[in-house]
Structure formats: structure tokens, C-alpha cells
Amino acid sequence: MSSPYRAVFAVPGAKGFSAAGFLGRMPLSMLGIGIVTMISQITGRYGLAGAVSATLAISAAAVGPQISRLVDRYGQRRVVRPATVIALVAVAGLLLSAQQRWPDWTLFVFAAVTGCVPSVGAMVRARWAALYEGSPRELHTAYSAESVIDEVVFIVGPILSIGLSTAWFPEAGPLLAGCFLAAGVFWLTSQRATEPVPRPRADHGGGSALRSPGLQVLVVTFVATGAIFGAVDVVTVAFAEEQGHKAASSLVLAVYALGSCLAGAVFGLLHLKGDPARRWVLGVCAMAVSMIPLQLVGNLPFLAVALFVAGLSIAPTMVTTMALVEQYVPRAKLTEGMTWTSTGLAVGVALGSSAAGWVVDASGAAAGYTVPGAAGVLAAAGAFLGYRRLRPAPERVGVVRDDGDDTDGASERCMA
């Protein structure tokens, strides 16, 4: 591990909560695809499988920010453990519903309740923000490391979930996801020393974190960004099937994630200066431009190269996004703010997947890449139009400059 990463992980407790966060985030990439695989294998009904998975995604998008809002107020341990227990009971009910062939409505009920799965990634990043408050260079490196972990999750998770459900028994993928969730969350919340201090109710005035103009821009833009990701996944599977190599789609998508993973690792080594909001706009535009080669795709090798290049802009943009949330949202609402960006992505993924499926059915897989192309244009437009609204929260103004120097004194840095 390179020196900047070794330095940020040298803080007592950092390795522990990051490792726990890795386990707790595995369900993010395993549950949805695991549910689709399980239900389609048991019933043979792909439409039902997709609808149940979509129910889970919508529920998580609606409930997740509310759970994170409670976390900011009452602390991670007090809120996340009960929410996780409810989610685990719902997962068990979902598996039983499918295995015992209970009425279809039970699948939707349990999927909706499973949506109270906490945003573990936001919890982990909130701990990094508490450790390195006032130290943007170290926080940049920490967020980059977490971005790399996110990509590893999305490379490994679907392979595990689909592989176990097809090779062992249909419920194996979602079952393992539930085990990862339980282990990760309870390990994370047992680490009290690095848990951010909850803020009193009085600190939560002004309602939701989403009232921040800067956060609104990030979330809206991330809906379009999520549509890129959702559409690319669906169209790539369809394109590989048209080429007669459907199984290769997982490898091609892994290359997409690998590009992001490598870019995130390198990005964390850089000490960047200048306006991070401008850097974020450039990152969103780079993602949009990277969709152009996909419109010319003719074979799988070319597609793999194009997706690898497209992946290079993802992690740096995500890292910058988390840094901006830390600036735009009051400290008392940080976990909620980070969860809202994930919600925007989740909504976008659902929209992009649906739109891409419709275009593929109507015009073929190659035409389907117009969907992520159009989503990229919308994301870039949102970033440009919202740039003037990207301003720090009042309490953050004048506290930290992007070059890493404090204007209010280095003594305020929390390096515990």
C-alpha cells in the first residue's frame, strides 16, 4: 500500500471500521441481483423477479435517508442495529416466501421492509470525516480508498450472489448477503471509539439535509449519473447475448469497475488544489464524454476497452462528490447528506435500467447505448446549470481551504 494510504489507515481503529464497512456493503451489490436470480430460478418469472427487486430499490431510496437522519441525531449504534435486525427478519421472510411459494404479494411486502437496510458506506465515510475533520488531504485519500472498496464490492458481490444461487440453491445468494450485512453492521457498531458523536436535536434545525442547495445539485445530477450505470449494465448484458457470449458480460462489466478501481487508487495519491466544485463538474463531463465511444461499439473486445476508459472517470468523481457533501451539509446532518447522494444514484439506476430495457427490446442492444449517452448529457447539463449553487454550508465557510491549510487554526483538527 502506498504511503498516503498507509498513513490514513495508521490512525487507531481505521482499519477495523473500514473492514467492517466492506462486509456491510456487500449486500449493496448482492441483494438485488440475488433476488432476481432466486425468484427467476424458483418460478421462472423474470417479470416478477424484476418487480420485486425494483420494490427493494425504491424502498431503500425512500427509507435510507431517514435512517441516516436518525443516525446523525442519536448515533450509529442506537439506530443502525435495530434497523439491521428488521432488515434481516425481512430478508428471511423473503427467502421463505420464495422457497415456500407463498402468494406473490408477500414477496413485495418483505422486499419493501428490507429497504430499511442502513447505508453502511455513509456510516463509514462519516467516521472518516470525524477522524480527519480539517485535514482535506487525508480525507481525500480516505474517500479514495473507500471508493476503491466500493468498486471491489461491485466486482465480487454479483459473482458471489449469482454463482451461489445457480450452483448451490436459489436462496444462497440473498442468504449470504444477509450474513454479510449482519457481520458488517454489528462489527462496525461495536467499534465505539471511532463512532461520530451524535448531535443534539437543537443542531438539526432547518429540516432535512436536502434543503442545502449544493446537495440538491449533487443529488439531481446523480440521478442522471445513476441512469448511466443502470443502462450500461443492462445493455452490456444484452449486447453480449447478441454476440453469442452472454456469460462474458460479467467479465466486461468487471473491466468497467476495474477502470474505476484503478483510477480511484491513483486519485487518492494526488494532492489536488483548486476549487473542488469545478473539479466535480469536469468529472461529470468526463463521464458524459466517455459514453461517446459506446455509440460505435461493434464487438466485445472494443466494448471492454471502451468501458475500461469510461470507468476511469467514475471513482474520482465519486470521491470529489463525498468531499463536496462534507462541505455543503452541516456537520450535524453529514450521514444523511451522504445517503441522499446514494439515493439519487439508486433512483437513476432504476430509471436507466428500465429505459435501456425498453430501447433494447424495441431496437436492439447497440441502440441501447444511446440511453447512457443521453443520461451523460443530462448529467453534464445538470452539473453546469447547478454550478453557481455549489456553495459550502454557513458553518463550513472559512474553516478549511482546499490546499489543506486551516484558516481557523490547526488545533481544531480531530485526529483521534
Strand-pair partners of 400 = 406
Place of cell 423477479: 49
Would residue 411 count as lying in a domain?
no
What's the pLDDT score for residue 107?
A: 92
Over its length of 416 residues, how does the chain's per-residue pLDDT go in tens digits? 457 888 888 888 889 999 999 999 898 878 877 887 788 788 877 667 777 877 888 888 888 888 888 888 888 889 999 999 999 999 999 999 998 889 989 999 999 999 888 888 888 988 988 888 778 788 888 888 888 888 788 778 877 887 788 778 888 889 999 999 999 999 999 998 888 888 765 454 556 776 777 788 888 998 999 889 878 877 887 788 788 876 677 788 888 888 888 888 888 787 777 778 888 899 999 999 999 999 888 888 999 999 999 999 988 898 888 878 877 777 777 778 888 887 888 788 778 877 887 888 788 888 889 999 999 999 999 988 888 777 665 544 444 434 333 333 322 223 23
Would residue 412 count as lying in a domain?
no
Q: Do residues 283 and 232 both lie within one domain?
A: yes
What's the pLDDT score for residue 398?
A: 43
Domain boundary among 131, 164, 197: 197
Q: Do residues 151 and 234 both lie within one domain?
A: no
What's the pLDDT score for residue 200?
A: 62
Q: Do residues 66 and 190 both lie within one domain?
A: yes
What's the pLDDT score for residue 167?
A: 79
Would residue 325 count as lying in a domain?
yes
Residue 297's CATH number: 1.20.1250.20
What's the pLDDT score for residue 309?
A: 93
Other Cβ atoms closer than 10 A to 186: 17
What's the pLDDT score for residue 40?
A: 78
What's the pLDDT score for residue 85?
A: 95
Q: Do residues 3 and 30 both lie within one domain?
A: yes
Would residue 413 count as lying in a domain?
no
Would residue 306 count as lying in a domain?
yes
What stretches of 290-369 show up as alpha helix (H) in DSSP? 300-311, 314-328, 334-363, 365-368
Other Cβ atoms closer than 10 A to 211: 12
Backbone angles phi, psi at 253, to 5 degrees: -70, -30
Domain boundary among 141, 170, 197: 197
Cα dihedral across residues 347, 349, 354, 358: positive or negative: positive
Q: Do residues 276 and 304 both lie within one domain?
A: yes
What's the pLDDT score for residue 338?
A: 80
d(C-alpha 100, C-alpha 91), whole Å: 14
What's the pLDDT score for residue 206?
A: 55
Inter-residue contact 46 to 40 (CB < 8 Å): yes
Burial of 166 (0-12, 13-18, 19+ CB in 10 A): middle
Would residue 223 count as lying in a domain?
yes
Q: Do residues 46 and 172 both lie within one domain?
A: yes
Phi-psi region of 244 (alpha: psi -120 to 50; beta: other; left: phi over 0): left
d(C-alpha 64, C-alpha 132), whole Å: 25
Inter-residue contact 193 to 15 (CB < 8 Å): no
Contact partners, residue 202, CB within 8 Å, separation at least 6 = none
d(C-alpha 87, C-alpha 28), whole Å: 13
Q: Do residues 102 and 227 both lie within one domain?
A: no
Selection from 258, 257, 262, 261 nearest residue 232 by Cα: 257
Q: Do residues 32 and 160 both lie within one domain?
A: yes
Other Cβ atoms closer than 10 A to 273: 11
Q: Do residues 259 and 306 both lie within one domain?
A: yes
Would residue 414 count as lying in a domain?
no
Query: Could you give the number of structural domains in the chain?
Result: 2
Q: Do residues 340 and 368 both lie within one domain?
A: yes
Q: Do residues 123 and 184 both lie within one domain?
A: yes
Quote the pTM value. Answer: 0.75
What's the pLDDT score for residue 380?
A: 93
Contact partners, residue 392, CB within 8 Å, separation at least 6 = 214, 327, 328
Q: What would the grid cell of residue 288 be?
A: 458524459
d(C-alpha 324, C-alpha 391), whole Å: 9
Domain that holds residue 156: 1-197
3-state helix, strand, coil in the chain (%, to 5): 80, 0, 20
Q: Do residues 4 and 153 both lie within one domain?
A: yes
Domain boundary among 197, 222, 240: 197
Q: Specify the DSSP element, H or E, that contains 226.
A: helix 213-242
Residue at 152: amino acid letter: V
- Tell me which DSSP letter residue 45 carries: -
Would residue 302 count as lying in a domain?
yes
Inter-residue contact 328 to 107 (CB < 8 Å): no
What's the pLDDT score for residue 201?
A: 57
d(C-alpha 23, C-alpha 53), whole Å: 21
